[in-house]
Chains A and B, each alone.
Chain A
Amino acid sequence: MIELISPTRCTGCNICVAICPMDVFQAASGQAKGAAPAIARQSDCQTCFLCEAHCPDDALYVAPDAETVTGIAEEAVAAAGLFGSYRRAIGWSDGHRDNRSADQTFRLLAPH
């Protein structure tokens, strides 16, 4: 489930608000431009990790637990190197673009 948005990393671009298929986030209200959105409907989160994939600033963390909030702290996520880890794996962050075409599924499938 979505656990946290790092207020120091987040630039308030609201991309996650737009792209979350379950409409979990709420943009900060008008006067707070640049502020991080709120995780407004946490229990609606389907644990699909797509907000992490689309966040340009590696500011979100989704814990794999689909049912309960773990309460993990930002420092622990950072210390484990987990911010941005999904984006790096799929080649969506600088320095890792080669991973976009690294899909090795063809080696795992039995030949047709």
Chain B
Amino acid sequence: MANAPGAPANPSASSLEFDAHLEADVLVLGGGPAGTWAAIAAATAGARTVLADKGFCGTSGATAASGTTLWYVDPDPAKRAAAKAAREGLGGHLADHGWMDRVLDRTHAAVGQLADWGYPFPRDADGRDRRVSVQGPEYMRLMRRRVKQAGVTILDHCPALELLVDDGGAVAGAAGVRRQKGGGWAVRAKAVVIATGGCAFLSKALGCNVLTGDGLLMAAEAGADLSGMEFSNAYAIAPAFGSVTKTLLYQWASFTRADGAVIPGAASKGGRSVIARVLATEPVYARLDRAEPELSAAMRQAQPNFFLPFDRVGIDPFTQRFPVTLRLEGTVRGTGGLRLVNERCATAVPGLFAAGDAATREPICGGFTGGGSHNAAWAMSSGHWAGQGAADHARALGNGARALRRAGGAGLGEGRGAAIDAGALTRAVQAEVFPYHINYFRTEEGLTGALTRLDRLWSDAAGAAPSSADDSLRVREAAAMLATARWMYRSALARTESRGMHRRLDHAALDPAQRHLLTVGGLDEVHVSARPAPLHPDPVGAKRELAA
């Protein structure tokens, strides 16, 4: 080996010291559903596998805190066809039926595996297992156990800050910091899976504050590009005082103004933008008064965490009104992420794979996920394929010596610029992505103004260093959110129509000529280009769209 383990590959690139070195075939970054399925698949394929999580594998990420419904559909052709058709229009006719079929098959198998591993699926009145949802704490506790049983080494509280690359530009590991033990870590690996989730901009949406787009930035620094980043403006309903952004039960809510007047058109599904418009100037209240009383017990059993805020402040949400807000979930319940180049979930960079919310979900949901089931199915499926793909890549690579260097840039630099104040940069980015009038209701003027300010922040941040080693994680998170915001808004500016969850006030209609996908990438210069969408899978939909 050109660099013996123990010696930082390029010590001058950063002030980090490595206190822990490991070698692996496959390194998985992120231990949510996507990362755990990836690690199990890689280890099962015979790869020596390490999984590093910013938090704790088993409690960290969006699923562990929230729980998810699953896109679990029996392999009955009629049911499958209906499941695919149901989201065709919502997703803006961008999804790919080949991918949907693969994901439906893979999800069915993975959920069956969960049952075999002892996940306690509920039974219905006929005694049948019902497998359309999982509880977050239960599911992720089980996944951690299975990861360990597969022989994977888990590094908890070890956020990755940057990738390591070889002379040819292939990804060859990652490095980061140890939050609890102190110092840095580095893992040399033959392949890396990015499963770091989406980016929710520290909005305190349920379980989402570990999700700051770190993996997107790291991958882009190594040369990967992204797709679908215009589909990044998911806002979820929550009680105004709380973090619980679970939205399923709001389908039984009525929404009112302070004086009690019902807000026409306001609804969780199909009327959320109405809520955003009113919230811009006055409070909005909700009450779950449209539910059949006999369903309320089922609701409690379905979503125990939904009721925590109410029970704890003494509100009965079925009979009493409570104020609501919309918290940004960014790409977590959007669809944008790293662009995949094949069915093994490889990115454009050799040795780098992506899965879950860190990868674009356009192949199965086009430009919309919002609530429900597709995200979880994608995390299981893409995780499995990325883990297998990474293991195969590692095996093919063999054991040749490679000289490594660090690929990280923004916020890790030698301090050409001033030291970055992570809190100030985070607030500056939030001020551009939280407001409904910039991000939810998009216009050329609003997006251009935000981009001017974000680009200026980037040129200051790009060469700067953290003010202290303790601050390096916060600074990298801020830089990653900043990069993510710029990819989002450049893509949103380029899509001069409304499609999926991307809405332009100045281009309110869907434009059939823009049934394409947008690739976005670059750091100092952000570039966007269109590539063809999959062949239209649904001729009826195509006709409808042309008529629109």
Contacts and interface: CB of A to CB of B under 8 A. Distances in A.
B180 A104 contact: no
Contact of B302 (A21, A23, A63, A107): A107
Given A21-B61, A112-B79, 19 more contacts: A19-B59, A20-B56, A20-B59, A21-B54, A21-B207, A48-B64, A50-B59, A50-B137, A54-B137, A64-B239, A65-B242, A80-B312, A103-B130, A104-B299, A104-B302, A105-B248, A106-B122, A108-B248, A108-B302
Interface of B: 54-56, 58-61, 64-65, 69, 73, 79, 82-83, 86, 120-124, 130, 132-135, 137-138, 156-157, 179-180, 204, 206-210, 239, 241-244, 248-249, 295, 297-305, 307-309, 311-313
Contacts of B242: 47, 64-66
Contact of A64 (B55, B180, B308): B308
Contact of B243 (A46, A53, A82, A103): A46
A90 B137 contact: yes
Contacts of A105: 69, 130, 132-133, 248, 302-303
Contact of A53 (B83, B137, B248, B301): B137
A85 interface: yes
Contacts of B301: 99, 102-104
A18 interface: yes
B83 A112 contact: yes
A65 B312 CA distance: 10
Interface of A: 17-23, 44, 46-50, 53-54, 63-67, 80, 82, 85-86, 89-90, 92, 99-109, 112
Nearest to B131: A106
Contacts of A21: 54-56, 59-61, 64, 207, 209-210
A23 B179 contact: yes
A48 B243 contact: yes
A49 B312 CA distance: 12
Contacts of B300: 89
B83 A46 contact: no
B207 A48 contact: yes
A103 to B, nearest CB: 5
A105 B309 CA distance: 19
A48 B312 contact: no
A46 B204 contact: yes
28 contacts: A19-B58, A20-B56, A20-B59, A21-B55, A23-B55, A23-B179, A46-B65, A46-B204, A46-B207, A46-B243, A47-B204, A48-B59, A49-B305, A49-B308, A50-B207, A63-B312, A64-B313, A90-B304, A101-B121, A101-B122, A101-B123, A103-B121, A103-B133, A103-B135, A103-B301, A104-B302, A105-B132, A106-B130
B64 A50 contact: yes
Contacts of A108: 248-249, 295, 298-299, 302
Nearest to A108: B302
Contact of B157 (A23, A48, A92): A23
A72 to B, nearest CB: 9
B493 to A, nearest CB: 31
A27 B179 CA distance: 13
A101 B134 CA distance: 10
B431 to A, nearest CB: 17
A92 B157 CA distance: 24
A107 B294 CA distance: 11
A22 B55 CA distance: 6
A109 to B, nearest CB: 6
B208 A46 contact: yes
Contacts of A65: 241-242
Contact of B65 (A48, A82, A99, A109): A48
A80 B313 CA distance: 10
A106 B133 contact: yes
Contacts of B297: 104
A49 B180 CA distance: 21
A110 to B, nearest CB: 9
Given A100-B138, A105-B302, A48 B311 contact: no
Contacts of A106: 122, 124, 130, 132-133
Nearest to A102: B301
B235 to A, nearest CB: 15
Contacts of B243: 46-48, 64, 66
